[in-house]
């Protein structure tokens, strides 16, 4: 009897069980110490794409077929297999006793190889990028019979194909060597596209296979992809096909599983073309307080963006919404009014097929009843002071049962929802509960019933797959990890730190030319380059380096020149990257070379990104993956050197070698202490017209990330060159202020309020008002003020003691004396950001801020403790709450010494939520 053949399923037992979720590192690079990349165990003939399977080490007396694809049950079915992963090919299930297949010596050697591994904690989603020409080494473990289906990586998918099979019963396996835990519930997702299945014969025996579901997938030539989701818990396996629940299989599952893509063609003359792509492993844990392309973290350090997650409740605010280190808490201690609600709404439009995962914890549910509504009338009902939990829905004035619940009070749990256009399925910690109709409502609501009883529920994160984040939000998530930014737009400064500037290798002045987004540093015809500084952080477990470059000519044969840091260019026009890592007592370098060349005369974005957790380094050219390299244990380091070494615009082979200067230009060099994925690389590279802004006066496309960097201005970061960027419009801030003053007069007439339309600026033009602001100042060792803010003040000149005293306040809109409580001369919803440093939050100021700030706008107050109640009132008026950001949390006014009348001002931030319930 033969073992079962498996499309897209089950599990391979892991030999080193561990209760924590880990990501396995493999010996993925072999060859020379200089970084030769290991090739796949055999050359891969170009073909089309793939489909995925999972096997188990455990033997069973019966085999179970999870799918049948029309009549092609033989070759595409899913079940358990008794095939150990390191054994030879299974014998065929042929009643005539077909001879067993022999693998060639090359295959046998590959199968016997033991790949050293180390496991490191990895809680986030794991994606598996694929590209044309990729070498399937490292985490990809291939076993193939002499005429098994050929596997060819394509851009975004794998292709399994065979044409006119000459030997019967040929197999191909691809194992992904990343263990996925099942405790708490995990998912494995992919897309499948069977294009051709011909002359394969049928293989069916009712005593062997037991059908669990009839699949709707069949071979087609329409190129239609089918989304497959597999859910695993320690006690069950469930499968969805295009969002429709196919079956739930209650069976014991190993603590860790590994995906196996497994194809077999049985009959001579058989033909197969099958593609698999968009492969993701989704573990049951979230990285605490960390946003990813798929995760919305909710915590003190990761507040929800109100344009994406809206939190609201009744006007009298019966619940307290607070943010802790790793979660958001909704509580009533106790409830003061009968049957009250709070809403958490996910606003981005979800694709027809989506996976949404919420991580929650019920701490306390007093009294008779509490309810959590998930995306419509799907209720987790908690009764008897938390003793009883059931899934129910409300209809005909009563509750109706949907499923039991195994949630424990006091423990975090996962609720997973898998959707189609009108159906939704629910899982609880990976265990299937029910599926029913859905009206596409994406709102979570929490209700508590009885007065004078307590409720406390924590929500730590929401995960969506595919990603529902906008480009702007992806980049906002990325911004806190921005370690250094060298715009090279007329200066050689690092705008993230004035103490870490570039240095010219020889005396002289740096030239600049027109780049893709403002100016860029020009090195053509020069003898000098720019020396990279030592940054505040020199080591990291993950990092990303991004730069724009235009190359006029390549260096001489055998030579290298520099683009930015370790990103170099060889004489073939290919990108060369020096990966420098810590080897306990010394540092080592691995050299990687891109597959594609940079054409002369065009601007290119080059990104190199490294992740220790996932043991990989990726190179992107213009936002497209050029290659991904999986590193061995000996090559990975938690203390990799952040790539602020070498030069911008040049390279030296050694200290005593001459500098080879780039014949070209470089701009917008950015260094992040974070690994990035494909979708963020597209945004950073500006490789999508939807990710850019233009104006009628300025047709240049501006990368969204540059907008984010310059628009989220923080105290202490001085923007000396923002006007050169043409970030939002050809209309600069000085002209905006002049137009405001022309309309409202100087000082502003109390009855006059200006609109954006009157100023001729769009809704996307960012407005920052600094109440009492006097512009940027540098005194007593601190920086204060904002370069790009409109300053609202009663006086025209700076009153701060020091060299700037009596100098004109820049970008000033003058109002009447503060003692008269003047109105702000702006219409409602005018400003994106309002700041106030050391001012008084009077009732009039509260009124004006509430009117002028836009929905989703940010209020930053550096304020004394005497105004705490006023700050809380402002937050309540805006349906929001107060947080104290870790960045620049406080400063002392009037100098560092108490004898100068020093007074501490603490930073309080509020995100305006002006929408109504």
pLDDT in tens, 49-64: 222 333 222 222 222 2
Return the residue matching tokens 């994925």.
677
The percent of residues in the chain predicted with pLDDT above 90, rounded, is 38
Q: Which residue has the higher pLDDT, 299 or 10?
A: 299
Q: Looking at 30-44, 735-749, 811-825, 831-845, which range is the least confident one?
A: 30-44
DSSP lists the bridge partners of residue 330 as: 321, 457
Cis peptide before 856 (omega within 30 of 0): no
Q: Which residue has the higher pLDDT, 173 or 644?
A: 173
pLDDT for residue 620 is more than 60: yes
pLDDT of residue 584: 61
pLDDT of residue 731: 52
Residue 781 CB: number of other CB atoms within 10 A?
7
The gap from C-alpha 798 to its chain's centroid, in whole angstroms, comes to 43
Which residues lie below 8 Å from residue 891, measured CB to CB, with a gap of 6+? 715, 782, 784, 862, 904, 905
pLDDT of residue 892: 52
Q: Which residue has the higher pLDDT, 198 or 42?
A: 198
pLDDT for residue 179 is more than 60: yes
pLDDT of residue 831: 93
pLDDT of residue 722: 34
Q: Are 642 and 540 in contact (CB under 8 A)?
A: yes
pLDDT for residue 384 is more than 50: yes
pLDDT in tens, 630-688: 888 778 777 777 776 689 999 998 878 899 999 999 999 999 988 998 888 888 887 64
pLDDT of residue 804: 55
Residue 109 CB: number of other CB atoms within 10 A?
11
Q: Which of 412, 394, 404, 487 is nearest to 183 (CA)?
A: 412
Q: Which residue has the higher pLDDT, 448 or 717?
A: 448
Q: Are 3 and 88 in contact (CB under 8 A)?
A: no
pLDDT for residue 764 is more than 60: yes
Most confident of 309-323, 362-376, 639-653: 362-376
pLDDT for residue 7 is more than 80: no
Q: Are 646 and 562 in contact (CB under 8 A)?
A: yes
pLDDT in tens, 535-545: 877 778 889 99
pLDDT in tens, 257-293: 888 888 888 788 888 888 999 999 999 988 778 888 9
pLDDT for residue 730 is more than 80: no
* CA dist., res. 56 & res. 255, Å (int): 12
Output the CA torsion sign for 46, 51, 56, 59. Answer: negative
Most confident of 60-69, 421-430, 781-790: 421-430
Output the CA torsion sign for 482, 488, 489, 492. Answer: positive
pLDDT of residue 714: 29
Output the CA torsion sign for 13, 15, 20, 23. Answer: negative
* CA dist., res. 439 & res. 424, Å (int): 9
What is the signed CA dihedral for 432, 434, 435, 439, rounded to 10 degrees? -120
pLDDT of residue 102: 32
Prediction pTM value: 0.69
Q: Which of 280, 299, 279 is nearest to 288 (CA)?
A: 299
pLDDT for residue 72 is more than 80: no
Which two structure tokens, joined as six digits, stand for 850?
């509430």
Mean pLDDT of 466-490: 84
pLDDT of residue 34: 29
Q: Are 155 and 176 in contact (CB under 8 A)?
A: no
pLDDT of residue 896: 38
Q: Looking at 103-117, 221-235, 347-361, 755-769, which range is the least confident one?
A: 103-117
Q: 3-class SS at 191?
A: strand
Mean pLDDT of 306-325: 86
pLDDT for residue 870 is more than 60: yes
pLDDT in tens, 493-524: 887 776 678 989 888 789 999 888 778 999 99
pLDDT of residue 732: 73
Q: Which residue has the higher pLDDT, 501 or 418?
A: 418
pLDDT category of residue 903 using cuts at 50, 70 and 90: low
pLDDT for residue 691 is more than 50: no
Which ranges of 90-188 would DSSP assign to H, the alpha helix? Answer: 105-112
Mean pLDDT of 847-856: 92
pLDDT category of residue 23 using cuts at 50, 70 and 90: very low
Q: Are 276 and 192 in contact (CB under 8 A)?
A: yes
pLDDT category of residue 245 using cuts at 50, 70 and 90: very high
* CA dist., res. 160 & res. 50, Å (int): 5
pLDDT for residue 100 is more than 80: no
pLDDT in tens, 148-163: 899 999 988 999 998 8
Q: Looking at 113-127, 569-583, 712-726, 848-862, which range is the least confident one?
A: 712-726
Cis peptide before 466 (omega within 30 of 0): yes
Q: Looking at 171-175, 187-191, 524-528, 772-776, which range is the least confident one?
A: 772-776
Which residues lie below 8 Å from residue 349, measured CB to CB, with a gap of 6+? 468
Which residues lie below 8 Å from residue 96, measured CB to CB, with a gap of 6+? none
pLDDT category of residue 598 using cuts at 50, 70 and 90: very high
Averaged pLDDT score across all residues of the chain: 76
Task: Tell me the longest C-alpha to C-alpha distance in the chain.
Answer: 101
Q: Looking at 264-268, 598-602, 730-734, which range is the least confident one?
A: 730-734
pLDDT category of residue 220 using cuts at 50, 70 and 90: low
Which residues lie below 8 Å from residue 303, measured CB to CB, with a gap of 6+? 323, 883, 911
pLDDT of residue 888: 61
pLDDT of residue 91: 30
pLDDT for residue 704 is more than 50: no
Q: Are 768 and 833 in contact (CB under 8 A)?
A: yes
pLDDT of residue 516: 82
pLDDT for residue 75 is more than 50: no
Most confident of 512-521, 601-610, 719-728, 794-803: 601-610
DSSP lists the bridge partners of residue 175 as: 141, 260
pLDDT for residue 455 is more than 70: yes
pLDDT of residue 187: 94
pLDDT for residue 199 is more than 70: no
What domains sit in the chain, N to C, each tagged with a CATH number?
126-282 (2.60.120.560), 291-468 (2.60.120.560), 473-685 (2.60.120.200), 733-912 (3.40.50)
E-only strand ranges, 62-183 = 117-121, 126-127, 140-144, 150-154, 157-162, 170-176, 180-181
Mean pLDDT of 431-439: 94
pLDDT category of residue 224 using cuts at 50, 70 and 90: confident
pLDDT category of residue 123 using cuts at 50, 70 and 90: low
pLDDT in tens, 543-589: 999 999 999 999 999 999 999 999 999 999 999 999 988 766 677 88
Strands 180-181 and 260-265: unpaired
């Amino acid at each position: 009897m033969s073992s079962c053949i498996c499309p897209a399923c089950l599990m391979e037992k892991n030999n080193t069980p561990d209760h924590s979720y880990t990501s396995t590192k493999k010996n993925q690079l072999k060859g020379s110490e200089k970084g030769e990349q290991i090739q796949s165990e055999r050359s891969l003939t170009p073909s089309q794409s793939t489909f995925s399977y999972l096997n188990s080490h455990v033997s069973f007396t019966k085999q179970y077929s999870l799918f049948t694809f029309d009549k092609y049950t033989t070759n595409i079915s899913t079940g358990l297999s008794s095939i150990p992963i390191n054994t030879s090919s299974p014998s065929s299930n042929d009643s005539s006793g077909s001879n067993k297949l022999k693998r060639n010596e090359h295959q046998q050697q590959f199968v016997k190889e033991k790949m050293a591994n180390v496991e490191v904690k990895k809680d986030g989603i794991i994606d598996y990028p694929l590209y044309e020409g990729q070498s399937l080494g490292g985490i990809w473990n291939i076993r193939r019979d002499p005429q098994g289906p050929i596997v060819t990586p394509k851009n975004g998918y794998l292709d399994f194909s065979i044409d006119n099979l000459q030997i019967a019963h040929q197999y191909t396996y691809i194992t992904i060597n990343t263990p996925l835990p099942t405790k708490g519930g995990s998912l494995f997702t992919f897309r499948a596209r069977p294009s051709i299945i011909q002359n394969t014969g049928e293989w069916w025996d009712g005593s062997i296979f037991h059908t669990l579901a009839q699949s709707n997938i069949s071979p087609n030539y329409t190129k239609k992809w089918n989304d497959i989701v597999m859910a695993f818990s320690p006690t069950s396996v469930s499968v969805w096909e295009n969002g429709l629940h196919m079956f739930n299989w209650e069976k014991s599952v190993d603590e860790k599983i590994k995906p196996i893509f497994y194809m077999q063609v049985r009959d001579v003359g058989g033909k197969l073309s099958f593609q698999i792509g968009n492969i993701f492993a989704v573990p049951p844990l979230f990285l605490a307080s960390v946003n990813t392309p798929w995760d919305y973290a909710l915590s003190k350090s990761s507040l929800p963006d109100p344009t994406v997650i809206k939190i609201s409740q009744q006007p009298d605010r019966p619940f307290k919404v607070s943010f802790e280190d790793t979660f958001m808490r909704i509580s009533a201690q106790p409830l003061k009014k009968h049957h009250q609600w709070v809403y958490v709404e996910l606003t981005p439009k979800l694709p027809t097929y989506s996976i949404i995962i919420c991580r929650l914890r019920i701490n306390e549910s007093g009294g008779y009843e509490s309810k959590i509504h998930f995306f419509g009338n799907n209720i987790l009902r908690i009764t008897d002071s938390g003793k009883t939990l059931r899934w129910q829905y409300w209809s005909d004035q009563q509750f109706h049962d949907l499923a039991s619940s195994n949630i424990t009070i006091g423990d975090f749990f996962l609720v997973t929802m898998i959707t189609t256009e009108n159906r939704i399925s629910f899982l609880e910690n990976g265990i299937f509960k029910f599926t029913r109709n859905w009206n596409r409502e994406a709102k979570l609501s929490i209700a508590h019933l009885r007065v004078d009883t307590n409720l406390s529920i924590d929500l730590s994160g929401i995960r969506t797959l595919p990603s529902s984040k906008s480009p702007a939000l992806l980049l906002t998530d990325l911004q806190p990890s921005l370690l250094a930014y060298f715009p090279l737009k007329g200066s050689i400064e690092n705008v993230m730190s004035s103490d870490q500037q570039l240095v010219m290798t020889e005396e002289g002045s740096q030239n600049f030319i027109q780049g893709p987004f403002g100016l860029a540093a020009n090195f053509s015809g020069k003898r000098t380059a720019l020396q990279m500084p030592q940054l505040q952080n020199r080591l990291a477990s993950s990092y990303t380096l991004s730069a724009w470059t235009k190359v006029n000519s390549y260096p001489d044969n055998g030579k290298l020149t520099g683009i930015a840091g370790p990103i170099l260019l060889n004489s073939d026009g290919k990108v060369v990257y020096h990966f420098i890592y810590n080897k306990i007592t010394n540092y080592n370098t691995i050299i990687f070379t891109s597959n594609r060349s940079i054409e002369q005369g065009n601007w290119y974005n080059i990104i190199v990104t490294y992740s220790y957790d996932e043991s990989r380094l990726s190179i992107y050219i213009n936002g497209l993956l050029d290659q991904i390299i999986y590193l061995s244990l000996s090559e990975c380091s938690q203390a990799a050197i952040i790539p602020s070494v070498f030069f911008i615009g040049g390279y030296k082979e050694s200290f005593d070698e001459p500098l080879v200067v780039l014949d070209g230009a470089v701009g917008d060099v950015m260094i992040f202490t974070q690994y990035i994925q494909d979708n963020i690389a597209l945004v950073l590279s500006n490789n999508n017209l939807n990710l850019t802004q233009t104006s009628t006066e300025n047709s240049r496309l501006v990368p969204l990330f540059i907008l984010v960097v310059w628009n989220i201005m923080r105290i202490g970061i001085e923007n000396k060159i923002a006007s050169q960027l043409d970030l939002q419009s050809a209309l600069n801030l000085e002209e905006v202020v002049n137009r405001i003053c022309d309309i409202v007069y100087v000082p502003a007439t109390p009855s006059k309020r200006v609109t954006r339309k009157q100023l001729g600026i769009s809704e996307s033009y960012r407005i920052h008002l600094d109440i009492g602001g006097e512009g940027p100042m540098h005194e007593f060792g601190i920086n204060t003020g904002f370069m790009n803010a409109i300053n609202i003040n009663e006086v025209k000149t700076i009153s701060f003691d020091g060299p700037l005293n009596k100098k004109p306040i820049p970008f000033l809109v003058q109002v009447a004396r503060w003692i008269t409580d003047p109105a702000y001369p702006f219409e409602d919803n005018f400003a994106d950001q309002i700041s106030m440093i050391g001012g008084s939050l009077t009732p009039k100021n509260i009124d004006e801020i509430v009117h002028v700030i836009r929905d989703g706008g940010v209020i930053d107050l550096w304020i004394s403790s005497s105004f705490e109640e006023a700050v809380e009132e402002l937050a309540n008026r805006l349906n929001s709450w107060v947080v104290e950001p870790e960045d620049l949390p406080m400063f002392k006014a009037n100098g560092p010494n108490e004898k100068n009348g020093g007074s501490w001002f603490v930073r309080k931030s509020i995100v305006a939520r002006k929408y109504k319930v």
